[in-house]
Structure 1
Amino acid sequence: MNKELNVSNLEQRDQTAASERAQDHVQHDRLQSVIAELATFGGRSDGGVSRETLTDPDLQARRYLIDLARSRGCSVTIDDCANLFFRRPGTSDLPPVLTGSHADTQPVGGKLDGAYGVLAGLEVIAALNDAGIKTLRPVEVVAWTNEEGCRFGPGAMGSSAFVDPSCLPAYRNSVDAKGVRFGDALELALEAVPDVPRRPMAEPMSACVELHIEQGPVLERALVPLGVVTGIQSVRWYRIQVTGTAGHAGTMPMDERVDAMAAAVGLAQQLYAYQAVEAGEKLRLTLGRWQVSPNSINTIPGAVEFTVDVRSVDEQVLVQFEAALKQITQAYSWAGKIEFESIFSRPPTHFPAAMLALIERACTRASSRASLAAPLRMTSGAFHDAMYLAEHCPTAMIFVPSKGGVSHNAAEETAPQELFLGVQALAYAVTSLANA
């Protein structure tokens, strides 16, 4: 028994040593170089990046990633949703450890959102190569398709379809603002990489770790370089349709109007008041998309449609909000019509305790060796591909700070040292999981 225990302890020490060596072989300048290179695909004069999914800049960026991965010894495959996988072999054929994120951006985005996670994964591959580390399990880096959802809806198409391939047929019928079908854009993307073999979807993964910029101000305000993400908050989306009567702006008396905009504004004020008085910081409320008809400067609006996005770490808070939304819309007194419907609902994601403990060890070593503050446990307020992977395998996330909390913006920025520390933490975690 003692001999078996000693062998087990020795193996544990070897695994820890490998994780530390991988962490210590991450290269700051190499990481910064590829971040700058990828940002040229769809790069803007203001420093931002416009690389919406499956556009020409995105297809060019994909080719860059394929070539970069191959230069680091990876094999490359692609699935039916055009998700790209870059694989470093292990000493066994056990299910791999997955890391990565997405390379598509908002119409005016930054160079880090999503792209950082993909390039971080490829830097982990390079660090493992430099350190001469062989892992038991393969390590795969993924670039998911259409995480942003700004060209084709919904977002996170690639990761959700990978986990549940039955989603893909409906996704293929999604149409962008120019009338292009996602399915047609997908076929063009697949045809653009004839040298990349196709692979099945929903393949087993042993674990997944996603590294991402925070996209909020919490870490920066706390002066903490690394965040251990405990989960992703719950979200619900609604569409509210307000129907009145269009009329002439100059001839219709104010007290005789059935003005859809006036009613919509009144509803919005009540919703904001509910958030402020009843929920406070427990609820995040956004009325994000407005459509007015006929949208003419001298016509009383006959119809207004707007969306409601509510998020909370507590699902019960959203249950209460929906009840309040029903009450507010039903009780609103006017001559027109108000309807609302739920268009999306996602429960909270909670990452496993064992994964959180590993991420905390990885982040603690990276930050302590840089003489910086210990990592902070926090919840993600934004969607990430990790929320779907959490249904497929043990999953976790690491955050690095966003300056000013800014993201989805050309001004998006994270200090180079913090980006470096994030990859160091990722390298430790991925290597540990790949040897388990």
Structure 2
Amino acid sequence: MTFQEQQAAERAQDHIDSARLQDAIAALAAFGGRGDGGVSREALTGVDLAARRHLIERARALGCEVSTDDCANLFFRRAGSADLPPVLTGSHADTQPVGGKLDGAYGVLAGLEVIAALNDAGIRTPRPIEVVAWTNEEGSRFGPGAMGSSAFVDPACLPAYRDAVDGAGVRFGDALDAALAAAPDVPRRPMRQPMSACVELHIEQGPVLERAAVPLGVVTGIQSVRWYRVTCAGMMGHAGTTPMGERSDAMATAVAVAQQLYAFAATGSGAPAGTELRLTLGRWQVTPNSVNTIPGAVEFTIDARCVDEAVLERFEAALGEIAARQGGKVGGKVGFTCFFRRPPTLFPPAMLALVSQACERASAQAWLPAPLRLTSGAFHDAMYLAGHCPTAMIFVPSERGISHNAAEATAPHDLFLGAQALAYTVAALAHR
């Protein structure tokens, strides 16, 4: 790092204003705010559009140019002194049906706080800096999640996304068009624009940092994931008249498959030390779902995650063996398909080194422990940006590891330190 880079990074870090950041978090949380302290602000709803307008005005007040693209991603640009690809930071502003006030929103607001700090410090960066609010990261109203960031990186995804429908039958494309029409004063820009680097600041959404009593995490990457759909076929019959030994019960088959999958995961499945296979059997559908009818069909989903891709390979092989073995029994008939897979995301060493330096300085100045390196168990927009430009992430602790919940919380001082680490990283990158 050059002397100029380090000087700008330190000055930016030292000008982060904790009170201003807290005020910004509270102001955005009012859009969809609930009496229990949570936030309900699903993507492209009326309350989300109002929150977007709030962010637009806040960014303009900081001197930023605002633009959007065909997926309604919002970009807040602080000009640089040279015509160079910008440094990107930010996250998303949509929430789960009942979420907290920090998930996603913190990264967007901390990005704007970095711009405010640069303004206060009188720092002009050679590269522009852009803060982004990605569209529909959560995927709770329209699936899949991370639509905005994935479409930005690969615009060919957008036509299929536009056909996604929410629970009320509203097409994502129609909601998207309405959102763009609601901001006629925001100019449109092309997607997949060059970026020099990307840094996303986020709450951990897990217990690792809090348990270690460490305020900052350097995220080394994001776990690999595979999603499966398992189908178990049987024959419907009367619950009272069909003897147990003569049943073809799809639920009994599904339960047997589930037990064997959990048993496989419990053995560690050969996962290297410090890692584990994380297994979730999520959505269940039973046919005919009647209290007095033997199930004739059961379908359930599997979410399997691990840092080590080889572990997921072994899991998929085990799933095939279990399905074949169980399907060979009376009433078995088990099938499965993998409908989503994503290899692990590994952030580049040079970005990790810079983020570590930023976190170490922020922690040291607060007389707190040095940052911890950890892997993200959740998806983030950075997962897609990593295929577009050098990317990194910073985590701050989540109290009791709770997120996607009204009880989601992080201590104000930890949020402050996270913003300080982000400011250092962004300012340094914007001088390169």
Which TM-score applies when normalising by structure 1?
0.96
The aligned runs of 1:37-436 (5 Å cut-off) are: 37-279=27-269, 281-332=275-326, 333-436=329-432
Q: Amino acid of the residue matched to residue 141 of structure 2? A: R
Q: How far off is 1:424 after superposition?
A: 0.3
Counterparts of 1:43 and 1:72 in 2: how far apart (Å)?
Answer: 25
Counterparts of 1:149 and 1:265 in 2: how far apart (Å)?
Answer: 28
4+ runs deviating over 6 angstroms: none
Q: Amino acid of the residue matched to residue 318 of structure 1? A: L
Q: Amino acid of the residue matched to residue 342 of structure 1? A: C
1:221-257: per-residue Cα shift (whole Å, max 9, x none)?
A: 1110000001111000000011212222222222222
Q: Which moved more, 1:323-332 or 1:255-264?
A: 255-264
Q: Amino acid of the residue matched to residue 114 of structure 2? A: V
Q: Amino acid of the residue matched to residue 196 of structure 2? A: S
1:340-392: per-residue Cα shift (whole Å, max 9, x none)?
A: 00010000111111100000010000010000000011111110000100000
Q: Amino acid of the residue matched to residue 404 of structure 1? A: R
Alignment partner of 2:149: what SS? helix
Counterparts of 1:175 and 1:138 in 2: how far apart (Å)?
Answer: 37
Q: Amino acid of the residue matched to residue 15 of structure 1? A: E
1:369-422: per-residue Cα shift (whole Å, max 9, x none)?
A: 000000011111110000100000000000000011111111111000000000
Counterparts of 2:335 and 2:38 in 1: how far apart (Å)?
Answer: 39
| Alignment check: 8 A CA contact 2:253 2:331 kept | no
Structure 1 unmatched ranges of 5 or more: 1-8
Q: How far off is 1:296 after superposition?
A: 1.8
Alignment partner of 2:374: what SS? strand
Which TM-score applies when normalising by structure 2?
0.97
Counterparts of 1:16 and 1:208 in 2: how far apart (Å)?
Answer: 18
Alignment partner of 2:407: what SS? coil
Counterparts of 2:188 and 2:400 in 1: how far apart (Å)?
Answer: 41
Counterparts of 1:30 and 1:340 in 2: how far apart (Å)?
Answer: 51
Counterparts of 1:129 and 1:96 in 2: how far apart (Å)?
Answer: 17
Structure 2 unmatched ranges of 5 or more: none
Alignment partner of 2:321: what SS? helix
Counterparts of 2:83 and 2:302 in 1: how far apart (Å)?
Answer: 46
Counterparts of 1:151 and 1:354 in 2: how far apart (Å)?
Answer: 37
Counterparts of 1:134 and 1:324 in 2: how far apart (Å)?
Answer: 56
Q: Which moved more, 1:264-273 or 1:14-23?
A: 14-23
Are residues 259 and 46 of structure 1, via their aligned partners in 2, closer, same or farther at CA, if it must alter by over 3 Å?
same
Q: Which moved more, 1:126-135 or 1:41-50?
A: 41-50
Q: Over aligned residues, Cα RMSD in angstroms?
A: 1.0
Alignment partner of 1:141: what SS? strand
Q: How far off is 1:336 after superposition?
A: 4.1
Q: Which moved more, 1:246-255 or 1:126-135?
A: 246-255
Q: How far off is 1:278 after superposition?
A: 4.4
Q: Amino acid of the residue matched to residue 324 of structure 2? A: Q
Q: How far off is 1:13 after superposition?
A: 1.5
Q: How far off is 1:199 after superposition?
A: 0.3
Q: Amino acid of the residue matched to residue 301 of structure 2? A: T
Q: Amino acid of the residue matched to residue 234 of structure 1? A: S
| Alignment check: 8 A CA contact 2:92 2:108 kept | yes
